[in-house]
Amino acid sequence: MHRLHAPHNQPSGDESPAEAVATTRRALIGTAAGLGAAALVAPGVVLHTLSAQAETAPITNKSRWGLLIETDKCAEGCRACIEACDHEHGLDRQVPEGSPSKWEQQKAVWIRKVKLQDNQTGRITQLPLMCQHCEHPPCVDVCPTGASFKRADGIVMVDRHLCIGCRYCMMACPYKARSFIHHNTTGQLTAVPRGKGCVESCNLCVHRRDYGQDSTACADACAATGHHAILFGDLKDPESPIRRRMREIQNRQIREDLGLNTGVRYAGI
Amino acid sequence: MKRIVYREWRIPPQRYWSLIGYLAALIGIGALSFGYMEHEGHWVTGMSNSVVWGMPHVFAVFLIVSASGALNIASIGTVFKKPIYKPLGRLSGLLAVALLVGGLLILVTDLGRPERLIVAMTHYNFSSIFAWNIYLYTGFMAIVIAYLWSMADRQGAPFNYPIGVFALIWRLALTTGTGSIFGFLVARQAYDAAILGPMFVALSLAYGLAVFMLVLFFCFEEEGRSIGPRVLRRLRNLLALFVAVVLYFVLIYHLTNLYMAKKDAFEHWLLLGGGFYTFVFWVGWILVGNLVPLWILYHPALSEQRNWIIAACTLVILGGLAAMYVIIIGSQAFPLAMFPGHTILESGFNDGVQGAAASYWPSIPEVLLGIGGVALSLLIILVGVRVLQFLPESLADEVVAPDEEQLAEAVAVKPA
Ligand code: SF4
Ligand code: SF4
Partnered with residue A62 across adjacent β-strands are none
CB pairs under 8 A between A and B: 181
A126 lines ligand 1 (CB under 6 A): no
The residue of chain A nearest to residue B53, with distances taken between CA atoms, is A167
The residue type at B196: L
Which chain B residue's Cα is nearest to A196?
B41
- CB-CB under 8 Å, B53 with A144: no
Ligand 1: atom nearest CA of A178 is 3
Q: Are strands A156-158 and A148-150 parallel, antiparallel or unpaired?
A: antiparallel
- Which one of B45, B128, B351 has the shortest CB-CB distance to A144? B128
User: Considering only residues 110 to 169 of chain A, which have any Cβ-Cβ distance to chain B shorter than 8 Å?
Assistant: 112-120, 124-125, 129, 138, 140-147, 162-168
**Does ligand 1 have an atom closer than 6 angstroms to the CB of A66?**
no
Closest by CA position to A90, among listed A9, A25, A163: A9
Ligand 2 centroid distance, CA of A142 (Å): 8
| Nearest by CB: A98 against B43, B49, B116 | B43
* Cα distance between residue B307 and residue B325, in whole Å: 27
Say what the alpha-carbon torsion angle B129, B134, B136, B140 is, to the nearest 10 degrees.
160
Region B179-188 average pLDDT: 82
Q: Distance from B272 to chain A by nearest Cα, in Å?
A: 21
- Arithmetic mean of pLDDT, B283-312: 96
- Chain A hits for B332, Cβ within 8 Å: 171
How far apart are alpha carbons B284 and A123 in whole angstroms? Answer: 41
Question: Does any ligand 1 atom lie closer than 6 A to the CB of residue A134?
Answer: yes
Architecture field, domain B9-400: Up-down Bundle (1.20)
> A204 CA distance to ligand 1 centroid (A)?
12
Contact: B348, A172; criterion CB under 8 Å? no
CA distance B30 to A172: 29
Which whole number is the average pLDDT over B339-344? 93
Asked whether A154 lines ligand 1 (CB < 6 A), one says no
pLDDT in tens, B236-261: 999 999 999 999 999 999 998 888 87
Closest CB to A141: pick one of B128, B181, B351. B128
> What residues are paired with A252 via a beta bridge?
A266
Give the pLDDT band (50/70/90) at residue B38: very high
User: Is A259 near chain B, with CB under 8 Å?
Assistant: no
Cα A111 to Cα A132, B154, B389: the distances in Å are: 10, 64, 59
If you write DSSP's letter for every residue of B282-304 in order, what string do you get? IIIIIIIIIIHHHHHHH-TTGGG
Residue type at A38? A
More confidently predicted of B408 and A191 = A191
Q: Give the sign of the dihedral formed by CA B379, CA B381, CA B382, CA B384.
A: positive
Question: Is A75's Cβ below 8 Å from some Cβ in B?
Answer: no
A173 alpha carbon – ligand 1 mean position (Å): 5
Which residue from B minimizes the CA distance to A256?
B338
What pLDDT is attached to residue B310? Answer: 97
Rg of chain A, C-alpha, whole Å: 19
Domains of chain A: residue spans and CATH: 65-267 (3.30.70.20)
Chain segment B203-221, per-residue pLDDT in tens: 999 999 999 999 999 999 9
Lowest mean pLDDT across A46-50, B22-26, B44-48, B65-69: A46-50
The dihedral sign for the CA sequence B167, B168, B173, B179: positive
Indicate the SS3 state at residue A224: helix
Task: Look at the alpha carbons of B84, B90, B96, B98 in this order and tell me if their dihedral is positive or negative.
Answer: negative
Q: With an 8 Å Cβ cutoff, are B43 and A254 in contact?
A: no
Q: Are B280 and B326 in contact (CB under 8 A)?
A: yes
Q: What's the confidence (pLDDT) of residue B105?
A: 96
Find the helix packing angle between A15-35 and A38-56, rounded to 10°: 160
Instruction: Please answer whether residues B224 and B15 qualify as being in contact, where contact means their C-beta atoms are separated by less than 8 angstroms.
Output: no
Question: Ligand 1: distance of its center to the CA of B88 in Å?
Answer: 48
Distance B130 CA to ligand 1 centre (A): 18
Proximal ligand: closest to the CA of A204: 1
**Ligand 2 atom closest to residue B128's alpha carbon, by position in its atom list:** 5
Q: What is the pLDDT along chain A (269 residues), one digit of tens a residue?
A: 333 333 344 333 333 444 444 444 444 444 444 333 333 334 444 444 444 444 567 888 999 999 999 999 999 999 999 999 999 999 999 999 889 999 999 999 999 999 999 999 999 999 999 999 999 999 999 999 999 999 999 999 999 999 999 999 999 999 999 999 999 998 899 989 999 999 999 999 999 988 888 899 999 999 999 999 999 999 999 999 999 999 999 999 999 999 999 999 999 98
**Which of B42, B113, B130 minimises the CB distance to A182?**
B42
Query: Given an 8 Å threshold on Cβ–Cβ distance, is B111 in contact with A197?
Result: yes
pLDDT tens by residue, B88-112: 999 999 999 999 999 999 999 999 9
Residue A194 C-alpha, separation from nearest chain B C-alpha, in angstroms: 13
Q: Would you place residue B271 in the very low, low, confident or very high pLDDT band (cuts 50, 70, 90)?
A: very high
Of A48-62, B251-265, B279-293, B337-351, which range is least confident? Answer: A48-62
Q: Hey, whose CA ends up nearest to atom 4 of ligand 2?
A: A169
How many Å apart are CA B285 and CA B248, to the nearest integer? 13
Identify the pLDDT of residue A48. Answer: 43
- DSSP assignment letter at A97: -
Q: Which amino acid is at B195?
A: I
**DSSP code of A5?**
P
Ligand 2 surroundings by CB, under 6 angstroms = A 142-143, 145, 147-148, 158, 163-169, 199
Query: Do the beta carbons of residue B92 and residue B71 sit within 8 Å?
Result: yes
Ranking B2-11, B316-325, B326-335 by mean pLDDT, the lowest is B2-11
What is the predicted pLDDT for the residue at B188? 83
Residue A101 neighbours by CB under 8 Å, 6+ apart:
none
Of residues B293 and B81, more confidently modeled: B293
Task: Give pairs for B407-413: CB < 8 Å, separation 24+.
Answer: B407/B83
Work out the angle between the directed axes of helices B306-324 and B55-70 (0-180°, nearest 10): 130
Ligand 2 mean position to A160 CA, how many Å?
A: 9
Measured between CA atoms, the residue of chain A closest to residue B329 is A171
pLDDT at B409: 58
The pLDDT confidence band at residue B120, using thresholds 50, 70 and 90, is: confident
Q: What is the pLDDT of residue A59?
A: 86
Average pLDDT, chain B: 92
Return the pLDDT at A33: 41
Residues of B in contact with A167 (CB under 8 A): 52-53, 112
B336:A196 CB<8 A: no
Q: Whose alpha carbon is nearest atom 5 of ligand 2? A: A143
Distance CA B110, CA B57 (A): 8
Please state the atom number of ligand 2 nearest to the C-alpha of residue A139. 5
For residue B412, pLDDT beyond 90: no
SS3 of residue A14 by DSSP: coil
Q: A51 to chain B nearest CA, in Å?
A: 31
* Residue in chain B lying closest to A101 (CA): B359
Tell me which chain B residues have a C-beta less than 8 angstroms from the C-beta of A199. Answer: 112
